[in-house]
Chains A and B, each alone.
Chain A
C-alpha cells in the first residue's frame, strides 16, 4: 500500500509543477496585456521592426521571372503540347489550318464518352458501378455542363500521370536514401500539404502566366505528396522475404525495384493514385483563378455575379465528376488489392480486353457519326435542362419567408460570439503567444519542439502579419471547435450503433470527395458573404475527420478489454466512459488534429466570401500578382498549421506512450 501511495505521489508532483508554471505564465501574459500602454511593443508588433520578407521574396521572384523566362517559356511550351491535345480531344475540337478554310477534327462524342465511362465502371466494379459512373457523366451532359466538365477532366488527365510519375520517383529516392527522406522529402511534404492551395497559384501565375499550363503545374505540385507517401509506405511494407527472394533470384538493383518491389507494393500505390486524383480535381477547380477554365471557372464567375442558381449547377457537376472519379479509382484499387482471377491467355487483343475494345469502338463510331449527326457532336439543347431558375426561386422563397430568422441568427452569432472572440484574438500580445506556445511545446516534447513552435509563431509577427494571423486563428479555431462539437458526438453515436454507422458512412465519404469550393455555394445562398458563411462552410468541410476518427477510435478498442470490463461488473455507461473513451482518446485527438488542418485549408478559400484574414491577404496578392506578399502570407498560414499539427502530434504521442 505504502509503495503505491509513494509512487502515485511522485507521479502527481510534476503535474502540480506544470500547473504552477502555467498559472504563472498566464498571469505574466495578462500583466503584459494590462500594461500595454507602457509595453506596446509586446502586444502589437512594432511596425518599424517589421522584417520585409515579402519584399525579399518578391525581388527573388522578380529576378527569376526576368532571368529564367527562357526556362519557364520552354516548360510552358513542352507541357502545352500534351495538354492542348487532351483539351482538344475532350473539349475543344482539333483545328487544322487557319482561317475560314480550316479543317476541323471533332472532339470525342459525348455519347461515346458516357458509354466509355459506363464500360470503365462495369469493368472495374460490375454493373452498379457502371451505372453510377455512366450516370454521373450523363448528368453532366444533360445539365449542360459538358464542355466545362471536359475541360476540367482534360486538365486532370494530364496532371495526374505527371503527379504519379514524379511522386513515384521521389518516393523511391526517399526510400533508398534515409537521409534524403529525413532532411528533404518529409519536411517538403509537410510544407506542401499545409501551404494553402491559393498560395500555390501566385508563383505559378507569375512564372507561367494566366494559362491552363500554370494551372496544371500548380495542380501537379499540390497533388503529388500523397503519391510520394504511398510509395514510401508501400515499399517499406514489402515483406522482407520477398526482398530476400529477389536477391536470391539474382536480380540486379533495378530488376529488384521494378519487377519485384513496386509490383508487390501495388495495392498501397493504388491508394495513393486515388488520393492524387481527388486532390487534382480539388486543385483544378481552385486553379480556375489562374486560367484553368472549366467547372471551377463557371462557379467563380457565378459566385462573383451572385448568380446562385448557376453556381449551384456547376457545383453539382463538380460533385458528379468527383463521385465518378473517386468510385472508379477506388474500385480499380480494390480490384488490384484483391488480385486477379486466373484466366487463360488469349491470343487476340479484343478477347483479352473486351471492355477496352468495345469502349474504343464506341468512341470511334460515335465521334465519326458526330461529323454527320450534330446530336452526337454536341449535347443538343433540346434534351438539356437547367435547374438554375429553380434554385434561384428556392433561395428567393427562403429569403422572403425566413429572412428575419436567418438574419437574426447571423447577427446574433456575429455580435455575441464572433466579434468578441475576434477582438480577444487580435488583441492577444504576440510575445505572449510565442511564449505560451513555446512552453506548451517544451512540456509536450522538449526544447526542439519549443524552439520550432516559437520560431514559427514569431515569423508571423515579425513579417507584420500578426493581426491577420490571429484573425485566421480565431475563425479557424471556432470553426474547428464547432466541427468537433458536432463531429465527435456523431462519431460516438456511429460507434455505438451499426445502423447509424451505415447511414453516416456514405454521407461522410461523399463529403470527403467534394472539392472545397462546393461547400461555399449553398451557404452563400442563405447567409451571403461574411464570417458566418465562412464558418458554416468550414464546419461542413472539416467535420468529416472528427466523425471518422472518433468512430474508428472507439471501434478499435480490443473486444477482450470490453469483455474484461463487463466481467468486472461495469455497466454499459461505465464501460464506455471508463474503458472505451480513454483508450480511444489518442485516435480522437488525431481526428481533431485533422479537423483543424482541414478547417485551416478551408478558411483560406473562404477569402472568396469576404473574410478579413490571411486568406484575404493571399487573395489580394493573387489579384495583384504580388508574389512576395502572397508567398509570405501563405507561409504564415502553413506555419499555423505546422504549429497546431506538431503540438497535437506530440500530445497524442505522449498519450499513446502512456497507454502503451
Chain B
C-alpha cells in the first residue's frame, strides 16, 4: 500500500525532506498471547487469522513515513484504530509488533529515561477533550511541561507568556480552564504543547469537541501557526473535510488497516477502494483538484490566460468561464505543458463523472 504513495509524487521537491517518523509493519493486537501470535507468523496475518485467534486487531500492518515539516493526517471513522495508531507512534501504547522509527532510531528499543527525555523536548500532543489540569490556571497549565523539566519559575513563565501571545490568549493568563470556552481551552492545549518547542506535534482530534464555526476558526489558526513554525504534524480526525483542508498527505484507516495514503487530490482523483471513493464523493472537487489533473494536451486553440500546474481549479474557475477560452498550464520556465478548457471546469463544478471531466 505504501507503493501507492511513492507512485505519484505531485510535488517532486517534497520527497527531498528527511523522514521524521516512520511506522514499519506496526501491529497492535489485544487479547491473550497476542505477541506470540504475530511473532510466530513473522508479522503477517490476515483479518480472518486475527479474528480466528480470538484477538482484536486495533492496528494491523501499518507502514507509513512522515516527512519533516509536513501535515500528515490520519483519517478514519471511530473504531478504525487511528487513535491507537497515534498512541503507538508516541509509545503511549506499546505496539505488539513492528518498529516505530524516530529519525531512523527505533523508538520501541530506547530506555524509559530516553523516552521521557524525548517526550519532554521533542514531542508535543494536543487532546480531543483538551486534558487541561483543572487545578492550574492558564499560565500554570502552559508552563506545566516546563516545570516538569525543572525550569525555574521566571524562565518558564516567560516562555509561557510567549506562547500565550502566539495563540492569542493574552489577558486570560489567570483564568482557570472551567472559566474558558471550548475554543479557548483548546488554544490553551495547543499553547501548552508548543511551550516545549517540540519537533513533532501529535494532534488527536483536536477540534472534534468544538462547534463547527469554532472548528473552522481553529483550523485557520492551525494553518497560521504552521506557516510560522513548520512543525512535523500528525493530525487525527474523523472529518474528511477537515482532512483535505489541512493535509499535505492523508492516510485513510479502516478496521485497523491503512487502506490508502496520498495527497487530498490523489484520493479524490484516484481512490484505491470504494470505501475511499465514498468519502470523497461529497467533496468540493474544485478546491482539491489542481490544473495539472484537469489539463489535456494543447490543441492549438487560443488561450485566455495562464495558470501554474499546482493551482486549484476553484481559484481560477470564475475567470476561465467568463473568459470562455482555454487557459494554458505553464511550468516554472513559462513553457506550456497543457491546457484547461472552460468545459472541463464546468463539468467538474457540475459534478459530472470524473472519467469524462478528466478526459
CB within 8 Å of B: which residues of A?
A: 239, 241-242, 244-245, 247-252, 255, 259-260, 263-264, 266, 339-345
Contact call B128/A241, Cβ cutoff below 8 A: yes
Contact call A339/B176, Cβ cutoff below 8 A: yes
Bound: A45/B14 CA distance, A: 89
Q: In the complex, what residues of A have CB within 8 A of residue B134's CB?
A: 263-264, 266, 339
Contact call A248/B149, Cβ cutoff below 8 A: no
Contact call A245/B125, Cβ cutoff below 8 A: yes
Bound: A242/B177 CA distance, A: 13
A–B pairs, 20, beta carbons within 8 Å? A239-B131, A241-B129, A241-B130, A242-B131, A244-B87, A244-B125, A245-B127, A249-B196, A250-B119, A250-B121, A259-B144, A260-B133, A263-B134, A339-B177, A340-B135, A340-B176, A341-B179, A342-B174, A342-B175, A345-B174
> Nearest Cβ distance between residue B107 and chain A, in whole angstroms?
13
Given A250-B116, A342-B137, A342-B176, answer yes or no on A245-B148 (Cβ-Cβ < 8 Å). no
Contact call B120/A249, Cβ cutoff below 8 A: yes
Q: In the complex, what residues of A have CB within 8 A of residue B90's CB?
A: 248
Q: Is B92 an interface residue (CB 8 A)?
A: yes
Q: In the complex, what residues of A have CB within 8 A of residue B129's CB?
A: 239, 241
Number of B positions contacting A (CB below 8 A): 35
Q: In the complex, what residues of A have CB within 8 A of residue B120's CB?
A: 249-250
Bound: A343/B117 CA distance, A: 34
Residues 159 to 208 of chain B near chain A (Cβ within 8 Å)? 174-179, 193, 196, 202
Given A247-B92, A248-B125, answer yes or no on A343-B116 (Cβ-Cβ < 8 Å). no
Given A249-B119, A252-B116, A342-B176, answer yes or no on A241-B131 (Cβ-Cβ < 8 Å). yes
Given A264-B135, A342-B137, answer yes or no on A249-B174 (Cβ-Cβ < 8 Å). no
Contact call B92/A249, Cβ cutoff below 8 A: no
Q: Is B123 an interface residue (CB 8 A)?
A: yes
Q: In the complex, what residues of A have CB within 8 A of residue B178's CB?
A: 339
Contact call A342/B179, Cβ cutoff below 8 A: yes
The 7 nearest A-B residue pairs measured at CB: A250-B120, A241-B131, A342-B174, A250-B119, A249-B145, A248-B125, A245-B131
> Nearest Cβ distance between residue A189 and chain B, in whole angstroms?
27
Bound: A345/B121 CA distance, A: 29
Contact call B119/A241, Cβ cutoff below 8 A: no
Contact call A244/B119, Cβ cutoff below 8 A: no
> Nearest Cβ distance between residue B210 and chain A, in whole angstroms?
15
Contact call A251/B133, Cβ cutoff below 8 A: no
Contact call B174/A343, Cβ cutoff below 8 A: yes
Bound: A239/B123 CA distance, A: 21
Contact call A241/B127, Cβ cutoff below 8 A: yes
Contact call B148/A250, Cβ cutoff below 8 A: yes
The residue in chain B whose Cβ has the minimal distance to the Cβ of A342 is: B174
Q: In the complex, what residues of A have CB within 8 A of residue B124's CB?
A: 248
Q: Which of B119, B131, B178, B202 has the most CB of A within 10 A?
A: B131
Contact call B92/A248, Cβ cutoff below 8 A: yes
Extra 8 A-B pairs, beta carbons < 8 Å, given A259-B148, A260-B133, A342-B175 = A241-B130, A244-B87, A249-B119, A251-B148, A263-B133, A339-B134, A340-B135, A342-B137
Bound: A241/B119 CA distance, A: 16
> Nearest Cβ distance between residue A287 and chain B, in whole angstroms?
35
Bound: A252/B113 CA distance, A: 9
Q: In the complex, what residues of B have CB within 8 A of residue A245's CB?
A: 125, 127, 131
The residue in chain A whose Cβ has the minimal distance to the Cβ of B117 is: A250
Bound: A259/B144 CA distance, A: 9
Q: In the complex, what residues of B have CB within 8 A of residue A242's CB?
A: 131, 133
Q: In the complex, what residues of A have CB within 8 A of residue B119's CB?
A: 247-250
Contact call B135/A249, Cβ cutoff below 8 A: no
Which listed residue, A247, A264, A343, touches B133 by the CB 8 Å rule? A264
> Nearest Cβ distance between residue A449 and chain B, in whole angstroms?
28
Contact call B127/A255, Cβ cutoff below 8 A: no
> Nearest Cβ distance between residue B3 and chain A, in whole angstroms?
32
Contact call A244/B135, Cβ cutoff below 8 A: no
Q: In the complex, what residues of B have CB within 8 A of residue A249's CB?
A: 119-120, 144-145, 148, 196
Q: In the complex, what residues of B have CB within 8 A of residue A259's CB?
A: 144, 148
Q: In the complex, what residues of B have CB within 8 A of residue A341's CB?
A: 176, 179
Given A255-B148, A342-B174, answer yes or no on A248-B123 (Cβ-Cβ < 8 Å). yes
> Nearest Cβ distance between residue A156 and chain B, in whole angstroms?
27
Q: In the complex, what residues of A have CB within 8 A of residue B128's CB?
A: 241
Bound: A37/B119 CA distance, A: 80
Q: In the complex, what residues of A have CB within 8 A of residue B87's CB?
A: 244
Contact call A250/B149, Cβ cutoff below 8 A: yes
Q: In the complex, what residues of B have CB within 8 A of residue A241's CB?
A: 127-131
Which listed residue, B135, B145, B149, touches A263 by the CB 8 Å rule? B135
Q: In the complex, what residues of B have CB within 8 A of residue A264's CB?
A: 133-135
> Nearest Cβ distance between residue B260 and chain A, in whole angstroms?
28
User: 1/0 per residue B71-115: CB within 8 Å of A?
Assistant: 000000000000000010010100000000000000000000000
Bound: A260/B131 CA distance, A: 11
User: 1/0 per residue B141-152: CB within 8 Å of A?
Assistant: 000110011000
Bound: A511/B196 CA distance, A: 54
Bound: A244/B121 CA distance, A: 16
> Nearest Cβ distance between residue A582 and chain B, in whole angstroms?
35
Q: In the complex, what residues of B have CB within 8 A of residue A250's CB?
A: 116-121, 145, 148-149
> Nearest Cβ distance between residue B114 and chain A, in whole angstroms?
11
Bound: A136/B120 CA distance, A: 52
Contact call B127/A244, Cβ cutoff below 8 A: yes
> Nearest Cβ distance between residue A335 and chain B, in whole angstroms?
12
Bound: A241/B193 CA distance, A: 14
The residue in chain B whose Cβ has the minimal distance to the Cβ of A259 is: B148
The residue in chain A whose Cβ has the minimal distance to the Cβ of B193 is: A248
Bound: A344/B172 CA distance, A: 11
> Nearest Cβ distance between residue B17 and chain A, in whole angstroms?
24
Bound: A264/B177 CA distance, A: 12
Q: In the complex, what residues of B have CB within 8 A of residue A342's CB?
A: 137, 174-176, 179
Q: In the complex, what residues of B have CB within 8 A of residue A252's CB?
A: 116
Q: In the complex, what residues of A have CB within 8 A of residue B136's CB?
A: 263
Q: In the complex, what residues of B have CB within 8 A of residue A340's CB?
A: 135, 137, 176
> Nearest Cβ distance between residue A247 and chain B, in whole angstroms?
6
Q: In the complex, what residues of B have CB within 8 A of residue A248's CB?
A: 90, 92, 119, 123-125, 193, 202
Bound: A251/B144 CA distance, A: 10
Contact call A244/B92, Cβ cutoff below 8 A: yes
Contact call B92/A344, Cβ cutoff below 8 A: no
> Nearest Cβ distance between residue A402 and chain B, in whole angstroms?
57
Q: In the complex, what residues of B have CB within 8 A of residue A343's CB?
A: 174
Q: In the complex, what residues of B have CB within 8 A of residue A263's CB?
A: 133-136
> Nearest Cβ distance between residue B156 and chain A, in whole angstroms?
12
Q: In the complex, what residues of B have CB within 8 A of residue A251's CB?
A: 116, 148
> Nearest Cβ distance between residue A639 and chain B, in whole angstroms?
38
Q: In the complex, what residues of A have CB within 8 A of residue B125's CB?
A: 244-245, 248
Bound: A294/B193 CA distance, A: 55
Bound: A135/B90 CA distance, A: 57
Q: Which of A241, A248, A339 has the most CB of B within 10 A?
A: A248
> Nearest Cβ distance between residue B197 and chain A, in whole angstroms?
13
Q: In the complex, what residues of B have CB within 8 A of residue A266's CB?
A: 134-135
Bound: A250/B87 CA distance, A: 14
Bound: A264/B119 CA distance, A: 21
The residue in chain B whose Cβ has the minimal distance to the Cβ of A250 is: B120
Q: In the complex, what residues of B have CB within 8 A of residue A345's CB?
A: 174
User: 1/0 per residue B229-243: CB within 8 Å of A?
Assistant: 000000000000000
The residue in chain B whose Cβ has the minimal distance to the Cβ of A244 is: B92
The residue in chain A whose Cβ has the minimal distance to the Cβ of B93 is: A244
Bound: A341/B175 CA distance, A: 7
Q: In the complex, what residues of B have CB within 8 A of residue A260's CB?
A: 133
Bound: A343/B119 CA distance, A: 32
Q: In the complex, what residues of A have CB within 8 A of residue B116's CB?
A: 250-252
Bound: A242/B128 CA distance, A: 11
> Nearest Cβ distance between residue A172 and chain B, in whole angstroms?
18
> Nearest Cβ distance between residue B144 and chain A, in whole angstroms?
7
> Nearest Cβ distance between residue B121 and chain A, in whole angstroms?
8
> Nearest Cβ distance between residue A322 and chain B, in whole angstroms?
29
The residue in chain A whose Cβ has the minimal distance to the Cβ of B121 is: A250
